[in-house]
Amino acid sequence: MTIIYLDYAATTPVLPEVVDAMLPYFTGLYGNASSTHSAGREARAAIHQARDNIASFVGCAPSQLVFTSGGTESNNMALFGAAAAQAGKGKHIITTQTEHHAVLHTSEHLEKLGYEVTYLPVDTTGRIRLDDLQQALRPDTILISIMYVNNEVGTMQPLQQIGELARSKGIIFHVDAVQALGHIPIDLNRLPVDLMSFSAHKLHGPKGIGALYIAKHAKLEPFMYGGNQERKRRAGTENTAAIAGFSKAVKIIDSNMYEMQQKMEKLRLEMVTRLEQLLGIEQFVINGHPVERLPHILNISFPGVSTESMLMNLDLEGIAAASGSACTSGSLEVSHVLKAMKLSEEVMKSAVRFSFGLGTTSKEIEITAHKIATIVNRIRNN
């Protein structure tokens, strides 16, 4: 059975060109970038080139990018590092109730270390209210951490306004942009952001590689110790092959981003239109912001059909979808994101996330919509 993969927000297939870019660094060019001999210099040159390329893609200086093992490490590095560096100024941190667990669980651990964390509520579309943020600010607030695009419903936060508010108060602003990279242009020269987390495997790069943008003025304590790699900010031998793969994926996405955005909008519209035709507009609910969102994530509830039943039946039909974050969906608990949005129990317990990517076709959307309609009608009529 050929799988219809609609879980690109969880991870993406590595493009063949990316694999080709990585292979030489597993065999012929296997030097350690910290070594002074020619093999080390070759690895170091590859890392420099990749850093230049990725920095150009996100609009920052190469020296402001630190390579990490992925989005989770980048988020941990940002929160632990900024909290430790600013501890003398205060111990109050602001984040939101809808963050990825890489931020939420890190925040919870910081609370155990004596920091106070305010978890901002969101509206029914998943957006924070700027008034809530303004009211949460305190003289001892040292860090604001708010994601760019929510990984479950696709809602975008008002980064510009949040960043301007943070800058006006001298507060470090961290953004988890893992779900945004490659789907929307990012220009850190213009955005009032101090720290930003990235991951390669969400844009057809390899797993196990990410990056953290650190503004020149942002102070960060390292939370891993060892060698002097990454300007003494992140110890450990660099993963040259994965870094080269990250760079290649960025190059490919950079040259196709506009076309990809148009394609995602088209696929989203096709899915919604077909479901309206097959089920009726009253028979499902789209979760998230109707406008301030990225199109590749489509979170839909089918009241009367549990998330577990829908996912199991789709899987039997060879269709891969999700209940939310891949890091927690195995438990099939009600999504903390949908809870924070204060949706009804019926809507929360029937939500399914479909997410599209480069390989998704209109034919796959057509097949999926028909399968969904069949499953919904069968379960509701029993």
Angle in degrees, 0-180, between the axes of helices 38-58 and 240-279, rounded to the nearest 10: 30
Residue type, 23: L
Nearest CA to 334 out of 317, 322, 318, 351 is that of 351
Tokens matching residue 129: 């209210």
The active-site residue out of 235, 327, 332, 334 is 327
| d(C-alpha 73, C-alpha 100), whole Å | 12
d(CA 245, CA 50): 9
Residue 381 buriedness (CB in 10 A; 0-12 / 13-18 / 19+): exposed
Q: What are phi and psi for residue 88, nearest 5 degrees?
A: -70, -20
Question: Distance between CA 139 and CA 135 in Å, rounded?
Answer: 12
In which residue are the tokens 């560096």 written?
85
- The reply to whether 60 belongs to the active site is no
Which residues carry out catalysis? Answer: 327
